[in-house]
Structure 1
Amino acid sequence: MRLPAMRCAGQVRGRSGWWLRFSGCSRQMSVAARGVPHLIGGEWVHATPARPGQQPHHNELHSSLFSQRMSPINGELVALVPKEAGSDTVHRAVEAADAAFSHWSRLAASKRAQYLFALRDKVAANVDHIAASISRELGKTPADARGDVVRGLEVLEFATACVPLLSGRALPNFASGIDVMQHREPLGVCLAVAPFNFPAMIPLWVFPLAIACGNTVILKPSELVPGASTILGELCESIQLPAGVLNIVQGGRETVQALIKHPRVQSLSFVGSTPAGTELYRTATQHGKRAQCNLGAKNHAVLMPDCDSELALNSLVGAAFGACGQRCMAVSVAVLVGEARALLDPLCDRVRALKIGTGDQADFGPLVTQAAKSRIEQVLASVEPQGGRLLVDGRKNEQLVQLPSAGNWLGPSIAAEVRPGMRVYDEEVFGPVLSVLCVDTLDEALQLINANAYGNGASIFTASGAHASHFQAQVKAGQVGINVPIPLGPPAVSFTGSRGSFLGDLPFYGASGVEFFTRPKNIISRWPVPSEAPAQSHANMMNIPTATS
């Protein structure tokens, strides 16, 4: 199986070399040998292996080790990524972002919006090219990869129109001769740490809104999928976004920790696993940074006996197995209430019919790494010893023999007779596995959901308004769907994970996102007219001011 073809976009040929590398051009091997570059202060900086006594060129930084990113489709090499950026890279990136902040933050908000309008047009013109990079590095189907980009584009469009949300408040003559104004000011240098599963969407969740608010950004993409972020960097370069407003640093855990701890970095935006996010949130808050961290999930869908069975089953299959189950909003647990148990057999039939592969006809592609595949296979192996039943076993899917053996392929699985305490239920599997539980009442289903540690999303399929109303009032989840499997609103409505799925005070994008990337400043002013305002006595000035004083 060949990797998805990727051709140069006519609109952009950036200096990073990324387009050349994936375009089929004759120079691609020399670019691949240099590895994925950083973007620092408007310059594409290549990491080179460090040698004793060797000084790097101005557009090179030393890195002792590289990771080989192997294709999840067939095991071929697709990228060389620095394992860690190194302290010199971190220092240069923060210095560049901080220097850019001094002028970018003073630029008129309407002018910043013009840059974002231009970026929006560039991203829209290059959706297919960014999607091809995602398919190549992550194995997403073409349609799913395009959806990744388009969903991010929607948030970028919101950022272009966020200027009214930056307006302050005014209370003229709040007290005798005293006016009060509240302004919203940008934070400074903001750090965004993106996950592997949405290489375009998550960066576009963060950096456009952050820079619209007047901040500068350091983006740390997942080392597993650096291509989409690199292309976004080239698109920013093509619109002549001022140098240092967006910087991209490659690396791993040590790189992120060094960036968070840097005194000039003001905030952390993170999407990823619970262990990593919890550690980074702790580091950020201990160093006085504000943070928003979207973590793991265990999303449940409740099917009531009166549901539209076709809608419910089709929705459930798509939400559980789309993107190979590698979504933070994937449905990983189906709860069948009462007579809805009868839907289990037709559910299994639909799942067995799913097509695995990378083309337009495929339903989902491979897992991100061999390690992820091995972990999920271990979870599946635990189901029956712990009392469950594997009604569909993805390890035995007949399509696997037709797929590259070096790829990370796994078929869809359905585990039945699952209960809390089993590994398949308690862990975030993050793969093509759906657990099915049967209960007698809606209240039992709610008990299950609310006892689970996570709180990203939950859905109910029902024809009853009473059931829907009871569910939405009682369920403890940030996003609630009624006959909707993945309940995500438009970008104007912030992503609101709760409980174990979110750490922080303000969620991503929407009005809350603007609040996150700005801080209020109150200005209290008095302009006395000498002929009208008697001077306050010393005694009066010693008293605490009040609204009537």
Structure 2
Amino acid sequence: MRTIDHLIAGHSGGGAARQNDVFDPNTGKVQAKVQLGTQAELDKAVAAAQAAQPGWAATNPQRRARVMFKFKELVEANMEELAHLLSSEHGKVIADARGDVQRGLDVIEFACGIPHALKGEYTQGAGPGIDVYSMRQPIGIGAGITPFNFPAMIPMWMFGVAIAVGNAFILKPSERDPSVPVRLAELFLEAGAPEGILQVVQGDKEMVDAILDHPAIGAVSFVGSSDIAHYVYRRGVAAGKRVQAMGGAKNHGIVMPDADLDQVVQDLSGAAFGSAGERCMALPVVVPVGEETADRLREKLIPAIESLRVGVSTDAEAHYGPVVNAAHKERVENWIQKGVDEGAELVVDGRGFQLQGHEEGFFIGPSLFDRVTTDMESYREEIFGPVLQIVRAPDFESALRLPSEHQYGNGVAIFTRNGHAAREFAHRVNVGMVGINVPIPVPVAYHSFGGWKRSAFGDVNQHGPEGVRFWTKVKTITQRWPDGAGDLPRGSEDGAAARIQDAFVIPTMG
């Protein structure tokens, strides 16, 4: 059986005291074992990072960018291998797996422009003969703790910017689907990065705690559930680290009476059920404004949901595949039962779905609830599966309050033809990312990603300009040169002229 190792100082292998099963979600069978590392493996990775990082930070930004360019080319050349590997462990269909890789590559493309992003500020004449300027310098060693649902995108969101600005990076991926992060690190070495600049340590909570406590790691980025995000934030900050910890979500889609309902249904089919709903930017709650809007939307949703094709991850015709493992399947089905027990109307029940020939796979059919209310726990908490809930709102103000008052504040969308309503909603809603007729408002790579409230802990968002700020620290210099300090030494006029000429020779930048 295949064993998935760490990648430390450019080499695979490590301690094997404990292992974790890696399943094929399509069959329910164990397909590999992943090593679960300890403090010893982390110490080796930190030592390698400490050896490599100073030289990497001293490398000029253009050269670092060339490594990012080469890495981008290698990932593109190996796209199909990565997508199939990702799909085999996560369960998302191949098209979604390619999208997972591509959205990570978008941030790598941003990181290719790091020389521009690192430019500081300059003020001439801030005082008599005084100039002030700033520079951004790397933290040193950064770490990323990433979830199972995007095993390519989220690691690249983190290490792309962190490494481009001059840090070394230690990645702890999910033990549920750990192969793709290792393959990405191998490609990064092939692109020309020094050993020790990008390393992968496998593990569970023991490794997470070791990362949070290690004194040599200066910054930690995390994506996962809100309770664990809060834990990571508190423990990391207590250890003196800079921490960004992204948590869960319960994103709402507000549907105004004037919305194009056919387009809304098409958007919801992908946003609520794509990737089996295992996305923090999924759209699991739809809020039609007015009973007439709700009834018309429900009427259109039912046949659209019933026509969704659930299949194995390699089925090109499938809309989505299995969830990641048996425990998560049970969790989602328990939430469906919870909704029923709380009095919500289960219009489409996805429980008990079985795929012929794959009866042991971790499949869940799409589910639709109507008449969900805000006092229901199934509304308040994140289900993270192929479940869509309808929460009816009598008017715009009521609809606006729902996402604004929810404990999570990751993303929200409004569907309308009314520009004033959309503008008012975008300005007033208490949520970090807003879509206007866009169901999954994930910002492009040169903007930044991050939610509010219990969806994010820390003050700086992921990737884009915020990512540059998170992975660097600012140094500000105030300088004054006394009169005469720059005078040329006494000597022949020819020598002085030569020295002046030398001062204007353009240095080689290559």
Alignment match of 1:363 (pick from 311, 316, 319): 319
1:170 aligns with 2:122: yes
Other-structure match for 2:474: 520
1:200 aligns with 2:152: yes
Alignment match of 1:236 (pick from 188, 203, 207): 188
Other-structure match for 1:18: none
Other-structure match for 1:42: 10
Matches within 5 A, 1:296-335: 296-335=248-287
Query: Conserved in 1, the CA contact under 8 Å of 2:6 and 2:35?
Result: no
Distance 1:294 1:401 in 2: 34
Give the letter for the 2:9 counterpart: G
Matches within 5 A, 1:148-227: 148-227=100-179
Residue 243 of structure 2 aligns to a residue in which SS?
strand
Alignment match of 1:453 (pick from 387, 407, 421): 407
Alignment match of 2:44 (pick from 92, 95, 100): 92
The Cα of 1:531 is off from its aligned counterpart by 9.3
Distance 1:115 1:277 in 2: 31
Give the letter for the 2:257 counterpart: P
The Cα of 1:530 is off from its aligned counterpart by 4.8
Amino-acid identity (%): 40
1:127 aligns with 2:76: no
Distance 2:31 2:115 in 1: 40
The Cα of 1:401 is off from its aligned counterpart by 4.8
Deviations 1:482-540 (A, max 9, x none): 111001221111013111111111101111111111111111222102599xxxxxxxx
The verdict on how the C-alpha distance between 1:86 and 1:396 changes in structure 2, with shifts beyond 3 A counting, is: closer
The Cα of 1:396 is off from its aligned counterpart by 4.4
Alignment match of 1:414 (pick from 347, 368, 372): 368
Other-structure match for 2:499: none
Alignment match of 1:500 (pick from 449, 454, 457): 454
The Cα of 1:275 is off from its aligned counterpart by 1.4
Deviations 1:134-184 (A, max 9, x none): 110011111111010111111110100121110111222311222212111
The verdict on how the C-alpha distance between 1:401 and 1:117 changes in structure 2, with shifts beyond 3 A counting, is: closer
Residue 218 of structure 2 aligns to a residue in which SS?
strand
Residue 360 of structure 1 aligns to a residue in which SS?
coil
Distance 1:480 1:531 in 2: 55
Distance 1:382 1:211 in 2: 44
The Cα of 1:403 is off from its aligned counterpart by 5.1
Residue 466 of structure 1 aligns to a residue in which SS?
helix
1:107 aligns with 2:75: no
1:65 aligns with 2:18: yes
Give the letter for the 2:62 counterpart: S
Other-structure match for 1:384: 340
Deviations 1:362-420 (A, max 9, x none): 000111111111111111112222111100000144xx252522211110001111101
Residue 335 of structure 1 aligns to a residue in which SS?
strand
Distance 1:65 1:312 in 2: 47
**Alignment RMSD, CA only?**
1.5
The verdict on how the C-alpha distance between 1:42 and 1:441 changes in structure 2, with shifts beyond 3 A counting, is: same
Query: Conserved in 2, the CA contact under 8 Å of 1:333 and 1:436?
Result: yes
The verdict on how the C-alpha distance between 1:403 and 1:425 changes in structure 2, with shifts beyond 3 A counting, is: farther
The verdict on how the C-alpha distance between 1:173 and 1:470 changes in structure 2, with shifts beyond 3 A counting, is: closer
Deviations 1:7-36 (A, max 9, x none): xxxxxxxxxxxxxxxxxxxxxx5xx1xx21
Gaps of 5+ in 1: 1-28, 47-60, 533-549
Residue 491 of structure 1 aligns to a residue in which SS?
coil
The Cα of 1:434 is off from its aligned counterpart by 0.6
Query: Conserved in 2, the CA contact under 8 Å of 1:424 and 1:435?
Result: no
Give the letter for the 1:201 counterpart: M
Query: Conserved in 2, the CA contact under 8 Å of 1:63 and 1:86?
Result: no
1:488 aligns with 2:442: yes
The Cα of 1:126 is off from its aligned counterpart by 1.1
Residue 395 of structure 1 aligns to a residue in which SS?
coil
The Cα of 1:198 is off from its aligned counterpart by 0.4
Distance 1:137 1:192 in 2: 20
The verdict on how the C-alpha distance between 1:351 and 1:123 changes in structure 2, with shifts beyond 3 A counting, is: same
Query: Conserved in 2, the CA contact under 8 Å of 1:152 and 1:202?
Result: yes
Give the letter for the 1:404 counterpart: H
Distance 1:424 1:366 in 2: 21
Query: Conserved in 2, the CA contact under 8 Å of 1:493 and 1:510?
Result: yes
The Cα of 1:67 is off from its aligned counterpart by 0.9
TM-score, with length taken from structure 1: 0.86
Query: Conserved in 1, the CA contact under 8 Å of 2:19 and 2:33?
Result: yes
Residue 385 of structure 1 aligns to a residue in which SS?
helix
Query: Conserved in 1, the CA contact under 8 Å of 2:213 and 2:239?
Result: yes
Other-structure match for 2:494: none
The verdict on how the C-alpha distance between 1:344 and 1:262 changes in structure 2, with shifts beyond 3 A counting, is: same
Other-structure match for 2:245: 293
TM-score, with length taken from structure 2: 0.92
Deviations 1:268-300 (A, max 9, x none): 111111111111111111011111111100000
Would you identify which runs of 4 or more consecutive aligned residues in structure 1 move more than 6 Å?
none
